[in-house]
Amino acid sequence: MPAILSAQPAASRASPRLAPPDDWSAFLRLFDAYADSDRVVGASVLVMRDGRVLDRHDYGWADRAARQRVDARTIFHWGSITKTLTAIAIMQLHDRRQLSLDEKITRYVPELRQVHDSYGMIDSITLRMLLSHSAGFQNPTWPYTTGKAWEPFEPTTWSQLVAMMPYQELHFRPGSRYSYSNPGFIYLARVIEQLSGDAWQSYVQKNIFAPLELTHSYFGATPYHLAADRSNNYTIRRDSSGSVAEVANGRDFDPGITIPNGGWNAPLSDLARYATFLTGAVHDDSTRRRFDAVLSRTTLSSMWHPLHPMSETAAAPDSMALSFFVLHRGTATILGHTGSQAGFRSFIFFNPMTTSAVIAAFNSSNEAEPARAAYLRMYEAALALLR
C-alpha cells in the first residue's frame, strides 16, 4: 500500500516548523470535552497557517470493533464541503467563457419546470442563485423516506429525482433570501456535465484534484489500496428499550445522486492541501501555476462576497456567498463550510488575510442526546483560532 503523504503540503515540508496558536491547547480541551460528551467514536482536527500544518490532534477510534485508532492516514467523509468543489468547477467554466452565472438553470435542466411554481419564476432562477442557496428549492435531496432499513440511503439515479419534481414546490420567491438546498448543487452538477462532456466525478478529478495533488481523495466506494484507512461511521441513538446505543453503519455507503453535494472522501492531509489553495499560501512558482490552473485568486475571491444573510437575527452576522459561508467574528472575516452525511460530520474554516485554517472531522452523529452546547463552545473556539 502506498504511503500517504504528510499532512503538510509538499511546498512547505522542508520549511521550519511554526508553533500552533496560543489558544490551541485550550481549544483541544474543548474538542476532547465535546467528543466525550457527545459519545464521538473518532475525530481529527488540525490547524495550519501559510500552507503549513502547525499541529494536529487525533481522538478515539476509526473502527472500534477492529481496534483501529484514528491517525494521520484515516479517511473521513466530508459531506457538504463537497459543494465548494462543485462551485469551483462552475467558476472554472465561467472563466473559460462557457457559461454565465446569470444564465437560467432551466436552460440546462428543463425538467425543473415540473416543480410547482406559485411565483411564476422558475425560468428566472440563475446559476448564481443556486450557488448562493437563494433559488427557493427544498433543503433535503430526498425528503420522501420514512427511515425504514430497506429504503435507499439516498436516491441513486437522476431519473428518481426527476420523477419526484412534480411533488416539489418553490418555497419562496427566487433570489429573495437564503435557504440551504442540497439538490440545487445536483442541478449545478448537471450543468458541469453537459458543458464539459465529463461525469461530475471525472471533471473534478481532472480539473481540481489532479492539479492540487489531492492524491487520496475520491468519491463513492473506497479504492482497494485505501480501504484499510477508511473510517467506519456511527450513529448514537436510542434502542427499543430506551437505552442509548452506538450503531456502526459500515465503512462505505452509497451517496447515490447526491455525490456533487456531499460525496468527498479524504484524509485530513488532502483537506490541508485544499486549504493551502484556498488561502493562497504559495511558496514557489510551480505551486502558483498549479493553483492558477484551478482558479485565479481574483475569481476565487469573488466567490467570497456576502450575498444573503444566513439568519434574520442581528445576533447571527453570518452570510452566504457563492457556496462559502462568510462568518464575522470580531474584526475577522472567516470563510468555510460544514459537512454532515451518514454518521460523519466535518468543517473547514480559513482566514485568507492570515492564511490560517482549521479543519476537523468526526465519524459519529448523536441522535439520542446531542451535546449541542458543548459543540457550540468547541466550534466557536475553532473560529477564534483564526482571528
Which CATH number is 43's domain given? 3.40.710.10
- Domain contains 214: no
Q: Verify that 282 and 304 share a domain, yes or no.
A: yes
Three-class DSSP category at 215: coil
How many domains does the chain contain in total? 2
Distance (Å, whole) CA 239 – CA 145: 20
- Domain contains 202: no
Q: Verify that 335 and 268 share a domain, yes or no.
A: yes
- Domain contains 210: no
Q: Where are the beta strands (DSSP E) in the chain?
A: 42-49, 52-63, 68-69, 75-77, 218-219, 234-238, 244-248, 264-267, 308-309, 319-320, 325-329, 332-341, 344-351, 356-362, 364-366
Q: Verify that 45 and 106 share a domain, yes or no.
A: no
Q: Verify that 57 and 144 share a domain, yes or no.
A: no
Q: Verify that 143 and 179 share a domain, yes or no.
A: yes
- Domain contains 182: yes
Q: Verify that 289 and 378 share a domain, yes or no.
A: yes
Q: Verify that 142 and 62 share a domain, yes or no.
A: no
Distance (Å, whole) CA 233 – CA 134: 32
Q: What is the pLDDT of residues 246-279, one digit of tens each?
A: 999 999 998 999 999 999 999 999 999 999 999 9
Tell me if 192 sits within 8 A of 200, measured CB to CB: yes
pLDDT value, residue 5: 38
pLDDT value, residue 1: 37
Q: Verify that 306 and 229 share a domain, yes or no.
A: yes
Task: From 196, 231, 264, give the residue that closes a domain.
Answer: 196
Q: Verify that 73 and 154 share a domain, yes or no.
A: no
Distance (Å, whole) CA 121 – CA 257: 26
Q: Verify that 74 and 90 share a domain, yes or no.
A: no
Within 10 angstroms of residue 218's Cβ, the number of other Cβ atoms is 19
- Domain contains 154: yes
Task: From 179, 196, 213, give the residue that closes a domain.
Answer: 196
Q: Verify that 278 and 373 share a domain, yes or no.
A: yes
pLDDT value, residue 16: 59
Q: Verify that 72 and 95 share a domain, yes or no.
A: no
Place of cell 480539473: 207
- Domain contains 207: no
- Domain contains 206: no
Distances in whole angstroms, Cα of residue 292 to Cα of each of 38, 217, 298: 41, 20, 10
- Domain contains 5: no
Tell me if 354 sits within 8 A of 33, measured CB to CB: no
Laid out side by side, the sheet with 234-238 consists of: 244-248, 234-238, 364-366
pLDDT in tens, the chain (387 residues): 333 434 444 444 445 568 999 999 999 999 999 999 999 999 999 999 999 999 999 999 999 999 999 999 999 999 999 999 999 999 999 999 999 999 999 999 999 999 999 999 999 999 999 999 999 999 998 888 887 878 877 888 999 999 999 999 999 999 999 999 999 999 999 999 999 999 999 999 999 999 999 999 999 999 999 999 999 999 999 988 989 999 999 999 989 999 999 999 999 999 999 999 999 999 999 999 999 999 999 999 999 999 999 987 766 679 999 999 999 999 999 999 999 999 999 999 999 999 999 999 999 999 999 999 999 999 999 999 999
Determine the structural domain holding residue 276 and report its residue range: 10-78+223-384
pLDDT value, residue 11: 40
pLDDT value, residue 17: 67
Distance (Å, whole) CA 86 – CA 68: 33
Average pLDDT, the chain: 94
